[in-house]
Structure 1
């Protein structure tokens, strides 16, 4: 199901290691290159499907400390964020976060990111993708130097911090054994709280966000790197918990209809084409707040529907090999007209292993219910598919 070759961006470089590397190895993880890091793809004694289903039914723990944690601070931070993203950060409440996208001058997506407003001083906490660290760093520094050189705004990466995710319906049950359950009961999807004390571990505090990348309820937790491994070992003493690798993480996010940068998103795709128009705040579609990078192209696509393709989902109508990235999609079985291309595809463990995927389809062939064909493999063998709305599996977020 999972292609190691598809996840490596620096096969020939010296790989970095997270603070859990030794633990991954001790648990029998198969380690692969991913975004410049040596990361676990699967653990000994688990199949990918078992790891996937464990997360959907219990509590999966993911080492995501390869992702970049940073802060944007200063009285001009909102102006900066409103320049590089289409989201209105002036309306974001304290301790709340939002998905957004960093935009280049042509409206293309440099990266997708979760950004949290921490306080009234306009301090923001930012999590961006590991595979985009170099391009994000270049982009943010160029934007700061070009447009905010004499403004009060600073972008800094967080040092000595690691990040992990707890995902699945038992996540709160497990975490409540270490922090006050009342805190978790009042922490809803899209919120984050800092410096939460662990009741039975002296000196340990956690920064806890109710979020994740699976569609399940759960948390992403920032922790001091020096205390990271010990706390994960403590969590693994709970029978509901297992470490889960990249293979299951990919099928979980695919079922949840979530984008993976480098597959569904890149610097030539706009948020409108990516079916992420909702990230363009309505308050920013006209007037003086309509001042973000690529606004002319993006707002024209929203107003006039001038974009020619859209990201959507599809499922196979009969058994066959999965349609992987770059698989062509055709209007008919004869392959007379290509109307799209697959970006991600895999059997779905939650849907009895029916092959599913995401793709960019030319309009009007993106409409749910449309019957098309994928040409799989070197021989371009045709398999019928049906366009479906995302997500494939309904989310289980804990909302107010």
Structure 2
């Protein structure tokens, strides 16, 4: 996805999620984002207030611009283990993992969440801003795969894009309590990273995954097109659940230390540089067998040239593109800020960026150039705000 700041773009050909009219009716300020018209915030509620409400109660986000897909077939596991470095064969049914789709050099085409339903069925969510690139790459690689000996011998893989489907994220400490009032399904059995088809009051049976992009406990709910508005109305009924837009989503995810594609990840960045080595299966760090393995394994063996870090900055917030310096008194640029905000939760200026390998250790004192002035900065572990995932 692209940054949630700097929204200026041609608005005439923007796509709309199934909740566009719902947002307008509820006073949303709509802005261009990743090719869609999306809510930035809602009337009478600012970004900071929305952010804090999610941390303290619950927020409902429309993430229906994301690309939802199904992969099915006897060799679906092997195919997805070819285009990503994750170990999906060892993943239990109805479990999810963050992963990355890699190019031939090991750069990140996109980050993705992969949910395994069975050995021959997966549900995958990718970013809206990478839709054309992702789908073209998948189509190309799928054609190669299905023409190969493994697929010919064991069976091909089919890819279905769930166009028009809704996707809602209910996030915050009150999310589970409210959702439980709407279902007979015991949500205590649905721990972080797990999913299930859950019956919801009103005749809905929806794919519910426990997780999200805020660092809070919560759920991402996939919804057929004909039911999206009804489900959104149902989930947003109580005063404890506040409709929440892109502004709060960006600040929440940065506090949680999560990457935004186009800011913190791109095709020149490997998962090792990005601090995402944990998405690579343990055995695959030695055996490879995935697209881009040579570049990734080289970075594992020899260490990458740069590392993603968190920073706490004194005096003024640093934004995307600000130079990271080796000290407040020296002018050598040793990295770049990729995301930065004043943290509503911490009351400090936080940022994420990349620096030369060796300068990424906790407590390292650096500086960031903000409006022509070097501001003191300290390398700080992420997440900046402790995550509150429900693990049972």
What is the TM-score normalised by the length of structure 1? 0.93
2:141 maps to 1:139:
no
When the two chains are superposed, the root-mean-square deviation of aligned CA atoms in Å is: 1.6
2:16 maps to 1:17:
yes
Deviations 1:271-319 (A, max 9, x none): 00000011111111234xx2111111111211221x1100010001x32
**Cα distance, 1:154 vs structure 2:** 1.4
Look up the match of 2:162: 158
Classify the secondary structure of the residue corresponding to 2:321.
coil
Bigger drift between 56-65 and 158-167 goes to: 158-167
1-structure distance, mates of 2:16, 2:117: 29
Look up the match of 1:42: 41
1-structure distance, mates of 2:10, 2:193: 35
1-structure distance, mates of 2:285, 2:235: 45
Look up the match of 2:319: 324
Look up the match of 1:309: 306
**Cα distance, 1:7 vs structure 2:** 4.8
Bigger drift between 158-167 and 50-59 goes to: 158-167
What number of residue pairs does the alignment pair up? 385
Q: How does 1:96-135 map to 2 (within 5 A)?
A: 96-120=95-119, 122-135=120-133
2-structure distance, mates of 1:396, 1:164: 19
1-structure distance, mates of 2:60, 2:356: 38
Is the contact between residue 192 and residue 211 of structure 2 (CA under 8 Å) also seen in structure 1?
yes
Look up the match of 1:382: 374
Which 4+ runs in 1 deviate beyond 6 A? none
* Structure 2 unmatched ranges of 5 or more: none
1-structure distance, mates of 2:256, 2:340: 13
Deviations 1:341-399 (A, max 9, x none): 000000001102x110100011211111111111113xx22111111111101110011
Classify the secondary structure of the residue corresponding to 1:25.
helix
* Structure 1 unmatched ranges of 5 or more: none
1-structure distance, mates of 2:31, 2:11: 12
Classify the secondary structure of the residue corresponding to 1:111.
strand
**Cα distance, 1:5 vs structure 2:** 5.0
Look up the match of 1:239: 239
Is the contact between residue 58 and residue 241 of structure 2 (CA under 8 Å) also seen in structure 1?
yes
Is the contact between residue 189 and residue 211 of structure 1 (CA under 8 Å) also seen in structure 2?
yes
Change (3 A) 1:4 1:107: closer
Bigger drift between 215-224 and 225-234 goes to: 225-234
Is the contact between residue 336 and residue 355 of structure 2 (CA under 8 Å) also seen in structure 1?
yes
What is the TM-score normalised by the length of structure 2? 0.95
2-structure distance, mates of 1:160, 1:333: 50
1-structure distance, mates of 2:7, 2:33: 5
